[in-house]
Chain A
Amino acid sequence: EAQVTQNPRYLITVTGKKLTVTCSQNMNHEYMSWYRQDPGLGLRQIYYSMNVEVTDKGDVPEGYKVSRKEKRNFPLILESPSPNQTSLYFCASSAGSGTAYSPLHFGNGTRLTVT
């Protein structure tokens, strides 16, 4: 089954404790991206990757890191989480080199709480 898999689904952590949210897709998509969803703010793009070893900042990259060493994986790293990073996070992938022509395929989301 074609899918984007995020783990974990739920995560509660404390301020400053490094964490990684994994994202993997099995559709051979070149494009992957991360979003955070907060009430009343829709989805905001954190980082995106057009291909292996090619990443770029979205609208809200502060406090996050990403890497794209393999085509299928695009982990999101929070080196020192803070309470304002409490949010619902989505990973997504898309065919082709961008999202202008092809829809995003989303993972099921990761609900992160930072205390």
Chain B
Amino acid sequence: AQKITQTQPGMFVQEKEAVTLDCTYDTSDQSYGLFWYKQPSSGEMIFLIYQGSYDEQNATEGRYSLNFQKARKSANLVISASQLGDSAMYFCAMSPINTNAGKSTFGDGTTLTVKP
């Protein structure tokens, strides 16, 4: 079984500062994909960044980067230069590549509030 743990129900960050949202996972699969999604107050789900378990380099997408530490089973999201529009709920998710391909597991989410 897969499990995603996001230990920070809520986080605050000052505008223009960087923030790290934690995500740890547990899986018996050897190969998997890790994702982060953003859910603004309007409710839609927006894909942010992807990391494959086999990727040696950490993923980056603009102001988003994923701090992937495979041995520790962590996939933390780093947002640099926070903006007011970054205030939202953030979900970490994973999907196995081989066994149970098609299953996807989400964490409980972290609500980020950016202060002006």
Q: Could you list which residues of chain A lie within 8 angstroms of chain B, going by C-beta atoms?
A: 31, 33, 35, 40-45, 48, 50, 56, 58-59, 88, 90, 92, 97-101, 103-106, 108-109
Q: Could you list which residues of chain B lie within 8 angstroms of chain A, going by C-beta atoms?
A: 4, 6, 9, 31-33, 35, 37, 43-45, 47, 50, 52, 91, 93, 95-97, 101-109
Q: How far is the CA of A100 from the CA of B52 in the complex (A)?
A: 8
Q: How far is the CA of A105 from the CA of B45 in the complex (A)?
A: 8
Task: With CB as the reference atom, state the residue of chain A lying closest to B46.
Answer: A106
Q: How far is the CA of A79 from the CA of B109 in the complex (A)?
A: 30
- Please tell me if the beta carbons of B44 and A108 are within 8 angstroms of each other in the complex: yes
Task: With CB as the reference atom, state the residue of chain A lying closest to B97.
Answer: A100
For the complex with contacts A90-B45, A99-B102, 8 further pairs of A-B residues with Cβ separation under 8 Å are: A33-B102, A40-B108, A42-B108, A42-B109, A98-B101, A98-B102, A100-B97, A103-B47
Given contacts A42-B91, A43-B91, A98-B95, contact A104 B47 (CB under 8 A): yes
Given contacts A43-B106, A45-B103, contact A103 B97 (CB under 8 A): no
**Closest CB of chain A to B102's CB: distance in Å?**
5
- Please tell me if the beta carbons of A97 and B47 are within 8 angstroms of each other in the complex: no
Task: With CB as the reference atom, state the residue of chain A lying closest to B34.
Answer: A100
**Closest CB of chain A to B59's CB: distance in Å?**
12
Task: With CB as the reference atom, state the residue of chain A lying closest to B53.
Answer: A100
- Please tell me if the beta carbons of B104 and A109 are within 8 angstroms of each other in the complex: no
